[in-house]
Amino acid sequence: MTKDLTTGRPMGVIVRFALPVLLAMLFQQFYSLVDTLIVGRILGPEALAAVGSTGSFNFMVIGFCSGVCAGFAIPMAQAFGAKNEEDLKTCIGNSLWLCVVFSVVLSVVTGVFCRQILRLMNTPDDILDRAYSYIVVIFWGIPVTYLYNMLACMIRSIGDSKTPVIFLGIASVLNIILDVFFITVVKMDVMGAAVATVLAQGVSGLLCLWYIKKKFSILHPRREHLRVNGWYIKKLCAMGIPMGLQYSITAIGGLILQTAVNSLGTLYVAAVATGSKTSMMFCCVFDALGTTTATYSGQNIGAGKVSRVRQGVNVCMLLGSIWAILTLLLYFFAGHLLAALFVDRSNTELIALIRRFLVANSLFYIPLAAVNIYRYCIQGIGYSQVAILSGAMELIGRGLMGLFLVPAFGFAAVCFANPMAWIAADLFLIPAYLHYTKKLSHLEPANAGA
């Protein structure tokens, strides 16, 4: 059931691993997309804006959780690539303790302060209460987020990218059913969408736990592996916290930008929210290539195959560039049709704004692909602390747009805020990738070819 990514043609290995990862991410985005579609169609544009106005705040917190879990999985992938089962199980045991601590602390802190943060973000008064009722439930569900993400990352670290997608598929169907039930039957308004998301993700997490227990003895830590080990705690935190902070730092720039968007009014909040949700669905390809690069690089660096890491990165960039061009063509010719899935066709002004946002972003999807692939490669080869600086570059890019250009140029500046952040991150990531892969070339034994 495990998959060794250190042998075989990089193109074939990467595609076979990435496709299930992509499907899993599509299902994960499906949670959010279904919420948006049902909320927009059933509850109207104001409810859509309420959910959308929490997007950056949501990403800052939930992105941290996902990043931490992905970071914890890198030492696991390296141990698996090095064929060190004891090291793998000790990493698992200590990461479980860290996940418990992080989930409890984050859930309490965000639940207490989320209304104050929404106010600081200039969330319009007419949607503030709805925005709060949605996001506070999502934050109460942080332990569930850790449950699924940590277990899914553990499974992927040993090369099985297929199993998590099956469970997320089941959860996605459940999410649709629960969305309709809580919104239309129970009349919970936008809170119902949040409850449905948390419950559905909880089911996917429990299914992962059941499957690990049944199928993967290599992922079963024994009592000695569950003892808190300071060296492993430090090693895991050195990988996980920078990856989590990378998302959060990036999201701070998003919060600044969202605050500027909120000041433009509810129509523009709804346009950016819908455009972002749609974009995130199509950008799952870049996320999947990034996640694949992290596991692929982790296993291969564990095996000392640095040249194979470079080959994999080149393959991922080729695939990402092809998808970027196809997506641009889709947005240009059918962006209005995608927008009409979420809002009534009579809202022509809103549909036009959404299409404009999508086209402007997709012009720069190749730089976005580079952000994901080079950043995750740097993390996979063991330099997670360095990769966090790319998040700082994204923060600067979005922050400058939100603070200075959006007030001056309005929605036009909003459309190019994300591209500015991606280009800023690439200016750091590409030289860093070249430097660190060269630095690690000495690890490669003479017979470590592809």
- Which runs of E-coded beta strand occur in 276-384? none
pLDDT of residue 168: 80
- For the segment 78-98, the average pLDDT, to the nearest whole number, is 91
Instruction: Kindly report, residue by residue over 202-214, the tens digit of the pLDDT.
Output: 999 999 999 999 9
Q: What tokens appear for 216 in the block? A: 């993967």
449 pLDDT band (50/70/90 cuts)? very low
Q: How far is CA 148 from CA 65, 250, 375, in A?
A: 11, 23, 23
DSSP 239-278: HHHHHHHHHHHHHHHHHHHHHHHHTT-HHHHHHHHHHHHH
Place of tokens 């402007």: 360
Give the type of residue at 444. Answer: E
Q: Which segment of 1-15, 32-46, 192-206, 297-311 scores lowest on mean pLDDT?
A: 32-46
Residue 37 pLDDT more than 90?
no
Q: Work out the mean pLDDT of the chain and round it to a whole number.
A: 89
Instruction: Kindly report, residue by residue over 329-356, the tens digit of the pLDDT.
Output: 999 999 999 998 878 888 999 999 999 9
Sequence-separated contacts (24+) of 5-8 with Cβ below 8 Å: 5/81, 5/159, 5/295, 5/296, 5/299, 5/300, 6/81, 6/299, 6/300, 6/302, 6/303, 6/305, 6/308
- For the segment 178-191, the average pLDDT, to the nearest whole number, is 91
218 DSSP 8-state letter: G
Answer yes or no: are the C-beta atoms of 371 and 429 closer than 8 Å. yes
In this structure, what are the phi and psi dihedrals at residue 223, rounded to the nearest 5 degrees?
-55, -40
CA distance 350 to 288: 30
Q: Tally the C-alpha atoms within 13 A of residue 183's C-alpha that lie toward its C-beta.
A: 25
Instruction: Kindly report, residue by residue over 43-74, the tens digit of the pLDDT.
Output: 888 888 888 788 778 888 988 998 899 889 98
Q: How far is CA 143 from CA 90, 101, 147, in A?
A: 22, 10, 6
pLDDT higher at 126 or 314:
314
Answer yes or no: are the C-beta atoms of 302 and 77 closer than 8 Å. yes
Instruction: Kindly report, residue by residue over 98-140, the tens digit of the pLDDT.
Output: 999 999 999 999 989 999 999 988 888 888 999 999 999 999 9
Answer yes or no: are the C-beta atoms of 72 and 149 closer than 8 Å. no
> Any idea how long the chain is?
450
Q: How far is CA 422 from CA 13, 323, 328, in A?
A: 27, 17, 16
Answer yes or no: are the C-beta atoms of 372 and 289 closer than 8 Å. yes
Give the type of residue at 75. Answer: P
Residue 416 pLDDT more than 80?
yes
Instruction: Kindly report, residue by residue over 124-181, the tens digit of the pLDDT.
Output: 888 899 999 999 999 999 999 999 999 998 998 888 878 888 888 888 889 889 988 9
pLDDT of residue 157: 83
Q: With DSSP H G I counted as helix, E B as strand and the rest as coil, what are the percentages for the chain, rounded to 5?
A: 85, 0, 15
CA distance 16 to 20: 7
pLDDT of residue 32: 66
Listed residue (263, 256, 266) closest to 347, CA to CA: 266
CA distance 411 to 271: 10
pLDDT of residue 195: 94
Alpha-carbon dihedral 111, 39, 63, 202, rounded to 10 degrees: 80
* Helical (H) or strand (E) element with 58: helix 55-81
Place of tokens 């418990």: 100
pLDDT of residue 207: 93
CA distance 280 to 171: 19
pLDDT of residue 450: 43
CA distance 24 to 174: 15
pLDDT of residue 26: 80
pLDDT of residue 208: 92
Answer yes or no: are the C-beta atoms of 197 and 31 closer than 8 Å. yes
Report helix angle 45-52 to 266-282, nearest 10: 60
Q: How far apart are the first and last CA of the chain?
A: 22
2 pLDDT band (50/70/90 cuts)? low
pLDDT of residue 255: 81
pLDDT of residue 446: 53
Q: Is 9 left (phi over 0), alpha (psi -120 to 50) or beta?
A: beta
Residue 447 pLDDT more than 60?
no
